[in-house]
Structure 1
Amino acid sequence: MLEKLAEQKNQESQFTKLLTAHRRQLYAFIYSLLADHADAEDVYQRCSMIMWEKFDQYDSSCDFLPWAMGIAFYEVKNFQRVSSRDRHHFSEQLLEQLFACMSTHKNDHSTQMLSLEKCLKSLRQKDLWLVQQVYWERRKCSAVAEEIGMKINALYDRVGRIRSQLKDCVRRRVAEVEHV
């Protein structure tokens, strides 16, 4: 009995670590197929529950993300089927093509994400705070501008420069990885 509880606790811990480590990538994958944050969040939550229910089928010698993306792909298709009355959804055929394309470019995406993380760490503290407020917290630019006492157009310009800086940094880092 105690062994079973310890095994279940270990499995819960392993699942939580894997899901937490890949949350952003999995959410980005789902969002790229749905293009709506509310729908993507709903599907992500359902996927998390399904993955937990099926976690005993997961082969720990394989990467977690492709396994999770496979479940997410079918859950997106299910979501699309249920909500097919809305004309703003991708066709099932297009979803399958996107999934195939994304699966083959998984390593490229991982390299880009790692590069982005390093580039974000190299930003000045003020610039990182702006990125967090605008992109991660999804605050309105007008509210952020007001909070820091900046005109909205100046904020747009600054955020645009930060994005360009990050884009250039990511390109350089990815190029360095590809040349190694």
Structure 2
Amino acid sequence: MTNQNDKPEDTNALFMQLFVVNQHRILGYLLTLVADRNIAEDLLQETAVTLLTKFDSFEQGTDFTAWACQVAYWKVKNYRRSCARSKILFSEKFIDKLSERTVEMGPTLDDRRKALDSCLERLDERDRAFLMARYEPDGSVARAGQTAGRTTQAAYKALQRLRRTLRDCVSLRLSNES
């Protein structure tokens, strides 16, 4: 719980600091449960509003991400309930298991993301721009290839090579750290 003597500005600043540091993990968690980036981002916003309004019940010193993911989990449940008439691909039991596993893997995924960021920095600018064009929202291999002046077939081959390079780099960095 936040201290009764805390000023509202201090509480808001603490919330913002914790949220900003952890929002990529919360978004990643949401993406594992809904798989649609737009929906996950909407749910992240709803989660942030709820977290802020309930921040006085958060116990400082405990795991903010776990608390936030629990709130996000209920946002997903409510979202799924509201979509009950549409075709649902996964059962509630599967979503519950996936949720548990994602929270357990949080620190490992953070390490992998940091290693990937480092490996991306080591790529030359042309390859990095090609990858970013491919993985931006609504990106495609053909569009990234066009941007890079490659045929679609050459773009697929370059993407395969870059994925292999990044996979090997991430594996090496993680093995060196452990």
TM-score (norm 1): 0.84
CA 1:147–1:65 in structure 2 vs 1: closer, same or farther (change >3 Å)?
same
What is the aligned partner in structure 2 of residue 101 from structure 1? 101
Change (3 A) 1:45 1:152: same
Q: Which structure has more RCO (C-alpha within 8 Å, separation ≥ 6)?
A: 2
Cα displacement (A) at 1:138? 4.1
What stretches of structure 1 move > 6 A for 4+ residues in a row?
A: none
Q: Which residue of 2 aligns with 1:158?
A: 158
Q: CA deviation at 1:71?
A: 1.0
Mark the CA change 1:130 to 1:14 in structure 2 (over 3 Å): closer, same or farther. Answer: farther
CA separation of 1:124 and 1:17: change in aligned 2, threshold 3 A: farther
The answer on whether the counterparts of 2:142 and 2:152 sit within 8 Å (CA) in structure 1 is yes
What displacement does 1:168 show? 1.2
Work out the CA distance in 2 between the residues paired with 1:20 and 1:174: 25
TM-score (normalised: structure 2): 0.85
Give the aligned CA root-mean-square deviation in angstroms. Answer: 2.2
- The question of 1:140 aligning with 2:140 is answered yes
Q: Matches of 1:16 and 1:89 in 2, distance apart?
A: 34
Unmatched runs of 5 consecutive residues or more in structure 2: 1-5
Instruction: Count how many residue pairs are aligned between Structure 1 and Structure 2.
Output: 174
Q: Which amino acid aligns with 2:129?
A: W
Q: Which residue of 2 aligns with 1:111?
A: 111
Q: CA separation in 1, counterparts of 2:59 and 2:121?
A: 33
1:14-163 equivalences in 2 (<5 Å): 14-163=14-163
Report sequence identity in percent: 24
| Contact residue 26 and residue 69 of structure 1 kept, 8 A | yes
Residues 1:89 and 1:54: Cα distance change in structure 2 (over 3 Å): farther
